[in-house]
């Protein structure tokens, strides 16, 4: 039985990953800040399948207390899914809140790097895998995407860099780059504005957390000689548009 650690397992893509991996017979270390949602996963699958870890990914001390005291059955981590992340705001850079930018960098970049660094020795010992949640925003800039897109470009490039460094170790690394997935993402981005979230996804038939979770499970379950380096996914109804031009 393999063990996966999923950060941000209390909502959206991470919650779907926890369920999908659990159903596929994996042990799941599920992390997040909302205890009741982690408890619900334990109630659904049992404490022998889901181990809840309540911490803010930016709080390294709290994270270390949780991860350094894992039950023996969960202590050997075969796959790390770096999913916890967020966007805050849609304002152009010149109207953005610096505090929001710092939260995105601290969560999407610094915490992801720190957890990866902590787990790398164990992942190398077990020839495990790392699946990082980047975004189409890593590749395609859009107005108001500024620091969020930059943080996801970091995640993509960090993933590819890890592939280089881990050559010969057997460790697999993948950057997953979704477009619109209907989760709590837009609710968080817009300060809890449910109407704004509903409006964004209306009529799009967006990707679901389960769509991405099935992809992450597929990546993690491939024969050990196969590595998906990066994978971009969009709903059919999302695609590309031209450059904007400002006229004087
Ligand atoms: P959700 O808002 O639905 O879920 C985000 C998850 O991240 C929650 O479980 C939340 O848990 C956790 N999280 C956020 N901040 C922290 C923190 N400081 N400490 C611990 N956990 C945290 O969003 P998604 O599921 O959509 O997003 C998951 C990932 O996918 C993100 O990295 C996002 O950038 C990426 N992504 C999303 C896309 C989309 O369209 N939805 C598209 C491309 C990429 P809690 O609040 O309980 O701590
Ligand atoms: C989230 C996808 O297109 O809203 O990463 O930036 S998008």
DSSP codes, 41-81: HHHHH-TTTEEEEE--TT-HHHHHHHHTT--GGGSS--EEE
Ligand 1 pocket member 178 (CB < 6 A): yes
Ligand 2 pocket member 207 (CB < 6 A): no
> Do 120 and 56 touch, CB atoms closer than 8 A?
no
Q: How far is the CA of 174 from the centre of ligand 2 (A)?
A: 18
- Averaged pLDDT for residues 54-83: 98
Question: Measuring from atom 3 of ligand 2, which residue has the nearest CA?
Answer: 179
Give the CATH number of the domain where residue 40 resides. Answer: 3.40.50.720
pLDDT score at 119:
98
Distances (CA, A) of 172 to 124, 132, 158, 160: 10, 11, 13, 10
Share of the chain above pLDDT 70, in %: 100
The pLDDT of residue 70 is above 90 = yes
Ligand 2 pocket member 179 (CB < 6 A): yes
pLDDT score at 152:
99
- Averaged pLDDT for residues 24-41: 98
Q: Hey, which residues are catalytic here?
A: 148
Q: How far is the CA of 84 from the centre of ligand 1 (A)?
A: 4
Ligand 1 pocket member 133 (CB < 6 A): yes
Average pLDDT, whole number, for the chain?
98
Residues 34-53 as b or e (16 or more Cβ within 10 Å = b): eeebbeebbeebeeebbbbb
The reply to whether 138 falls in a domain is yes
The reply to whether 92 falls in a domain is yes
Distance spanning both ends of the chain, measured CA to CA: 63
**Could you list the residue range(s) of the whole structural domain that residue 62 is in?**
3-233
The reply to whether 127 falls in a domain is yes
**What are 136-173's pLDDT values in tens digits?**
999 999 999 999 999 999 999 999 999 999 999 999 99
pLDDT score at 242:
86
Question: Measuring from atom 41 of ligand 1, which residue has the nearest CA?
Answer: 181
The reply to whether 90 falls in a domain is yes
pLDDT score at 103:
99
Write the ipTM: 0.98
The edge-to-edge listing of strands for the beta sheet with 79-82 is 50-54, 27-32, 3-6, 79-82, 129-133, 172-178, 230-233
The reply to whether 244 falls in a domain is no
- Averaged pLDDT for residues 229-238: 98
- Averaged pLDDT for residues 55-75: 98
Question: Measuring from atom 10 of ligand 1, which residue has the nearest CA?
Answer: 8
pLDDT score at 43:
98
The reply to whether 146 falls in a domain is yes
**What are 85-139's pLDDT values in tens digits?**
999 999 999 999 999 999 999 999 999 999 999 999 999 999 999 999 999 999 9
The reply to whether 248 falls in a domain is no
Pocket test for ligand 1, best of 35, 67, 86, 194 (most atoms within 8 A of CB): 86
- The ligand whose atoms approach the alpha carbon of 7 most closely is 1
Q: State the total domains in the chain.
A: 1
> Do 80 and 131 touch, CB atoms closer than 8 A?
yes
> Do 89 and 78 touch, CB atoms closer than 8 A?
no
Report d(CA 226, CA 213) in Å as an integer: 19
**What are 181-205's pLDDT values in tens digits?**
999 999 999 999 999 999 999 999 9
Ligand 1 pocket member 128 (CB < 6 A): no
Report d(CA 244, CA 246) in Å as an integer: 7
The reply to whether 158 falls in a domain is yes
- The first and second tokens of residue 21, run together, are 């991996």
């Amino acid at each position: 039985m393999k063990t996966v650690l999923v950060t941000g397992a209390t909502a959206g893509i991470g919650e779907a990953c926890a369920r999908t991996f659990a159903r596929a017979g994996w042990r799941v270390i599920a992390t997040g800040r909302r205890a009741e949602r982690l408890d619900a996963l334990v109630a659904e699958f049992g404490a022998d399948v889901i181990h809840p870890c309540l911490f803010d990914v930016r709080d390294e001390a709290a994270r270390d207390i949780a991860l350094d005291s894992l039950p023996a059955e969960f202590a050997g981590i075969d796959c790390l899914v770096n999913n916890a992340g967020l966007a805050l705001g849609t304002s152009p850079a010149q109207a953005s809140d610096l505090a929001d930018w710092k939260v995105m960098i601290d969560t999407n970049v610094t915490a992801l790097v720190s957890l990866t660094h902590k787990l790398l020795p164990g992942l190398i010992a077990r020839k495990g895998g790392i699946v990082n949640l980047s975004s189409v925003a890593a590749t395609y800039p859009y107005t108001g995407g500024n620091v969020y897109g930059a943080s996801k470009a970091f995640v993509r490039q960090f993933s590819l860099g890890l592939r280089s460094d881990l050559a010969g170790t057997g460790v697999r690394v993948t950057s997953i780059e979704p477009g619109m997935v209907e989760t709590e993402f837009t609710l968080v981005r817009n300060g809890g504005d449910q109407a704004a979230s509903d409006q964004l996804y209306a009529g799009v038939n967006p990707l679901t957390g389960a769509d991405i979770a099935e992809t992450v499970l597929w990546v993690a379950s491939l024969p050990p000689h196969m590595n998906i380096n990066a994978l971009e996914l969009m709903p059919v109804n999302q695609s590309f548009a031209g450059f904007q031009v400002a006229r004087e």
